[in-house]
């Protein structure tokens, strides 16, 4: 689950579009004869800037892992206070911050100030939802596991290895207390999928600490540091393995009580993304996009694998594996993706940075791929695109099926690197407003990355062949089923087994991925944001470019969109089009009657899957 994100903002030619993009400008004295109202607004804007700076400082103190990941290394080695008292202190602080920002009225701020205030309020509301309303602090390991990741100290060369070793030791020294606090917070019984996540995550930490950590720091020739590492590593292995064992022991009493319920789910959407679309309309939009992509898959498969079922067609694509495996295959793809962006002039590439590709560490393999990007306070450091190997406990056939075909991997690489997450952060690393560099919404980041997949195919990636289209559509169907599973499992009574079936039959996923994705939906209800964000971006692009040349304005649209940091997309829509923030989802034009595909008979939609 992505509760907290680091993000950055693009500065459009030295803050040319500052009022829209939120680029920070120096406060100046009011001009002679300036109206009193304008002077008051300027004063309130300056006060808002101070409030934002104070919020960032306070947020770092309450969330030291977030701070260290952003590049504030005075917070290295620290973990949050996960005790009930610590969580309450953070919650109380957020409420006080919300009250302070809400006092900045529309009449006392200019356009830029109102945007910044609303952006800050959205970040606060999102944090408060996960802390208070979700209940995740008391049952969901995903609430904590992101904070516990030590990857920053091990893979990010922000300092000499000995310095990072010292930070890592301090992290490990703090870990047993943090794990005990987490264990004490959990209110039994726990949902089965949450237990499995915790067992895999904490067990993965223990395995990683034991097998990999000593080798990583072996070259540091400092006896005192090595002695401290040996002690901290032993304690960390014990703490995390004990936690995994304790969670595993709860399995006989496990429940299926993971659903947020319709009321909390709707609140999540508004608090985190400023989306107020009724759930039945959201569900209908997801079903329409699923039908659109299934129809396109049927057409592509008719050319690529005539006479085969859709599942057989997808299996044929998946059989064309990347040479050397997924990690080597992704490495080979990145240069071509970047060159395609340049050749097609799709979006500005603002710097020379590149991303590395590595195998995901054992404690973070709950999804196939992700990318770690240095925070905005870091300079000249690499980003790492991680790819998870299949679970070695799965049957051999399922392990083989988990490794995607070259075309699916191509769009995973587009999502994670060019022009997805990595390019987004290249833009925002060059922003003028620090808040926008630090905080990004789930739908903004994942919506952009998922949008890029279809946009790249539409621009002709890899010749836009039927096989290439199958790769893009496989990713789109996966996200469509995530969208419907999130709504179904949390508001419509859909079971995890029904979700898994839907991933197999409608998402055309292999068995391992289907199980993994259905489980993720229970502890990450916001994973509908891939499709939700994509559909909001596609509608915004259509509305913004219609009087600017349509497709000819795509690059201009992309650069402008990336300039806002990472606020809820309805706030971006209001900045680009004017008016009040509004969530609008793109829907494909209806096909001619003769082209309308029949509804798949095995489709289990959230509303009908409660039994």
Angle at 67 between CA 118 and CA 238, to 5 degrees: 130
Distant-in-sequence, close-in-space partners of 69: CB < 8 Å, separation ≥ 6 = 6, 152, 375
Interval 408-464: pLDDT, tens? 999 999 999 999 999 998 888 787 789 999 998 999 999 999 999 999 999 999 999
Residue pair 79/106 in contact (Cβ under 8 Å)? The answer is: no
Residue 192 lies in a domain: no
Residue 93 lies in a domain: no
Residue 114 lies in a domain: no
State if pTM tops 0.75.
Answer: yes
pLDDT of res. 602: 29
pLDDT of res. 40: 56
pLDDT of res. 101: 97
Q: What are the backbone dihedrals phi and psi of residue 191, each rounded to the nearest 5 degrees, phi first?
A: -60, 145
pLDDT of res. 38: 52
Three-class SS state of 446: helix
Q: What is the DSSP string of 72-140?
A: -GGGTT-----SHHHHHHHHHHHHHHHHHHHTS-GGGS-HHHHHHHHHHHHHHHHHHIIIIIS-GGGT-
CA–CA separation, 56 and 54 (whole Å): 5
pLDDT of res. 589: 77
Helices marked H in 253-382 — which ranges? 262-273, 279-304, 310-319, 326-344
Q: Across-strand partners of 384?
A: 356, 372
pLDDT of res. 39: 52
Which residue from 600, 603, 606 is spatially nearest to 525, judged by alpha carbons?
606
Domain that holds residue 513: 264-608
Q: What are the backbone dihedrals phi and psi of residue 255, each rounded to the nearest 5 degrees, phi first?
A: -115, 180
Residue 318 lies in a domain: yes
| CA 492 and chain centroid, separation | 24
CA–CA separation, 15 and 13 (whole Å): 6
Q: Give the torsion through C-alpha atoms of 213, 218, 223, 227, to 10 deg.
A: 20
Residue pair 351/381 in contact (Cβ under 8 Å)? The answer is: no
Residue 494 lies in a domain: yes
Residue 600 lies in a domain: yes
Average pLDDT per run of 10 along the chain, which is 611 residues long?
Answer: 28 25 30 46 83 98 96 97 98 98 94 95 98 98 92 91 98 98 98 97 95 94 98 98 98 98 98 98 97 97 97 94 94 96 96 91 78 89 92 88 93 97 88 88 96 98 97 96 98 98 96 94 98 98 96 97 94 96 89 42 27 29
Residue 484 lies in a domain: yes
pLDDT of res. 402: 87
Buried b (16+ CB within 10 A) or exposed e, 584-608: bbbeeeeeeeeeeeeeeeebbbbbe
Residue pair 44/36 in contact (Cβ under 8 Å)? The answer is: no
Interval 7-64: pLDDT, tens? 222 222 222 222 222 333 233 233 334 444 455 556 688 999 999 999 999 999 999 9
Number of folded domains in the chain?
A: 1
Helices marked H in 363-405 — which ranges? 396-402
Residue 394 lies in a domain: yes
pLDDT of res. 146: 83
CA–CA separation, 255 and 250 (whole Å): 10
């Amino acid at each position: 689950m992505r509760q907290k994100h680091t993000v950055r903002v693009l500065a459009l030619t030295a803050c040319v579009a500052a009022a829209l993009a939120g680029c920070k400008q120096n406060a100046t004295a009011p001009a002679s004869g300036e109206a009193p109202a304008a002077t008051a607004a300027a004063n309130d804007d300056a006060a808002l800037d101070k409030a934002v700076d104070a919020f960032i400082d306070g947020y770092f103190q309450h969330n030291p892992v977030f701070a260290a990941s952003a590049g504030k290394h005075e917070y290295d080695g620290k973990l949050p206070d996960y005790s009930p008292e610590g969580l309450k202190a953070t919650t109380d602080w957020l409420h006080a911050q919300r009250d302070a920002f809400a006092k900045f009225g529309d009449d006392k701020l200019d356009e830029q100030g109102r945007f910044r205030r609303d952006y800050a309020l959205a970040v606060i509301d999102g944090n408060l939802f996960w802390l208070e309303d979700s209940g995740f602090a008391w049952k969901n390991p995903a609430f904590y596991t992101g904070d516990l990741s030590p990857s920053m100290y091990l893979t990010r060369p922000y300092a000499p290895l000995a310095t990072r070793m010292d930070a890592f030791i301090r992290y490990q020294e703090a870990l047993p207390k943090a794990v005990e606090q987490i264990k004490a917070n959990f209110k039994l019984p726990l949902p089965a999928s949450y237990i499995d996540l915790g067992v895999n995550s904490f067990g993965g930490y223990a395995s990683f600490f034991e097998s990999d950590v000593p080798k990583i720091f072996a070259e540091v020739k400092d006896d005192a540091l090595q002695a401290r590492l040996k002690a901290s590593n032993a304690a960390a292995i014990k703490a995390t393995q004990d936690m995994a064992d304790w969670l595993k022991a709860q399995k006989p009493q496990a429940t299926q009580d993971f659903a947020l319920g319709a009321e909390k789910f709707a609140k999540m959407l508004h608090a985190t993304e400023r989306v107020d679309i009724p759930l039945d309309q959201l569900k209908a939009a997801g079903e329409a996009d699923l039908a659109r992509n299934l129809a396109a898959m049927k057409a592509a498969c008719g050319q690529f694998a005539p006479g085969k079922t859709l599942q057989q067609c997808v299996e044929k694509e998946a059989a064309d594996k990347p040479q050397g495996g997924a990690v080597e295959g992704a490495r080979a793809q990145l240069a071509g993706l970047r060159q395609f962006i340049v050749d097609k002039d799709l979006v500005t590439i603002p710097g020379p940075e590149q991303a590395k590709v590595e195998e995901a560490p054992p404690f973070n393999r709950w999804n196939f791929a992700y990318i770690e990007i240095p925070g905005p306070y870091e300079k000249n450091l690499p980003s790492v695109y991680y790819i998870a190997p299949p679970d070695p406990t799965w049957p051999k056939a399922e392990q083989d099926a988990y490794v995607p075909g070259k075309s699916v991997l191509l769009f995973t690489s587009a999502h994670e690197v060019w022009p997805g997450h990595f390019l987004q952060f290249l833009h925002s690393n060059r922003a003028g407003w620090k808040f926008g560099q630090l905080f990004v919404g789930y739908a903004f980041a994942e919506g952009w990355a998922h949008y890029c997949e279809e946009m790249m195919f539409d621009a002709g990636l890899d010749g836009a062949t039927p096989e290439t289209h199958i790769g893009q559509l496989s990713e789109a169907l996966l996200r469509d089923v995530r969208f419907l599973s999130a709504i179904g499992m949390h508001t419509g009574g859909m079971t995890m087994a029904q979700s898994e079936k839907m991933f197999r039959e409608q998402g055309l996923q292999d068995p391992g991925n289907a199980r993994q994705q259905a489980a993720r939906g229970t502890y990450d209800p916001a994973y509908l944001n891939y499709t939700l964000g994509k559909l909001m971006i596609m509608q915004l692009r259509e509305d913004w470019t219609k009087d600017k040349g349509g497709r000819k304005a795509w690059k201009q649209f992309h650069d402008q969109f990336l300039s806002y940091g990472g606020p809820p997309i309805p706030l971006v829509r209001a900045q680009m089009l004017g008016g009040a923030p509004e969530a609008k989802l793109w829907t494909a034009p209806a096909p001619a009657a003769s082209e309308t595909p029949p509804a798949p008979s095995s489709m289990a939609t959230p509303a009908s899957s409660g039994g």
